Amino acid sequence: MITMKLIAASAHDISARTNKDAKNTLKMASTDDPRNAALNGIDCIELDFPKFTDGRAFSQAYLLSRRLGFKGDIVATGDVLIDQLAQMQRSGFTTAVLRDDQPLDTANRVLAAYPGFDMGAYQGDAVHVSPHFANA
């Protein structure tokens, strides 16, 4: 399983300025439709969670990774909680910038605790298109 990169909120601005791999970053609001975005030359897309109860960025990430075939970095920003990380990973996010009060060490432990665990063993997702039972 692909593991998401986790970034502490305090380190996000610094990493964005020094990350040479993500030269061309597109920041999308939760109201933006990814199907209308010009993705040519874009290496990184930041999707915003304005509050943790707003799940539109999950749909945006899925559209970008599965339907539009975007292969770059899809970053979750904003009100990102540890509880959402597994679903973010399943939706196509490759990086998550944690909210200030979410400890990075705890987030890493949560993701590492279930290395083979797949919440959607009976359904496909953005990472594993077909369900596990279809491969048996």
Does residue 86 belong to any structural domain of this protein? Answer: yes
What totals of helices (H) and strands (E) does the chain contain, helices first? 4, 5
Q: Is the pTM of this model over 0.75?
A: yes
Domain that holds residue 62: 1-8+21-31+41-114
On whether residue 45 sits in a domain, the answer given is: yes
In a domain, 98, yes or no: yes
Phi, psi of 57 (to 5 degrees): -65, -25
Domain count, the chain: 1
Residue carrying structure tokens 């279809």: 134
CA–CA distance, 108 with 105 (Å, rounded to integer): 5
The CATH number of residue 52's host domain is 3.20.20.70
Q: Which residue has the tokens 């993705």?
A: 39
Q: Is residue 133 part of a domain?
A: no
Name residue, tokens 């933006």. Answer: 32
What is the full per-residue pLDDT of the chain (136 aa) written as tens digits?
457 899 998 886 645 544 545 569 999 999 999 999 999 999 999 999 999 899 999 999 999 999 999 999 999 999 999 999 988 988 999 999 999 999 999 999 988 876 554 544 555 666 666 665 565 5
- Residue 122 maps to a domain: no
DSSP 26-48: EEE-TT--GGGS--TT--EEEEE
3-state SS, residue 118 = coil
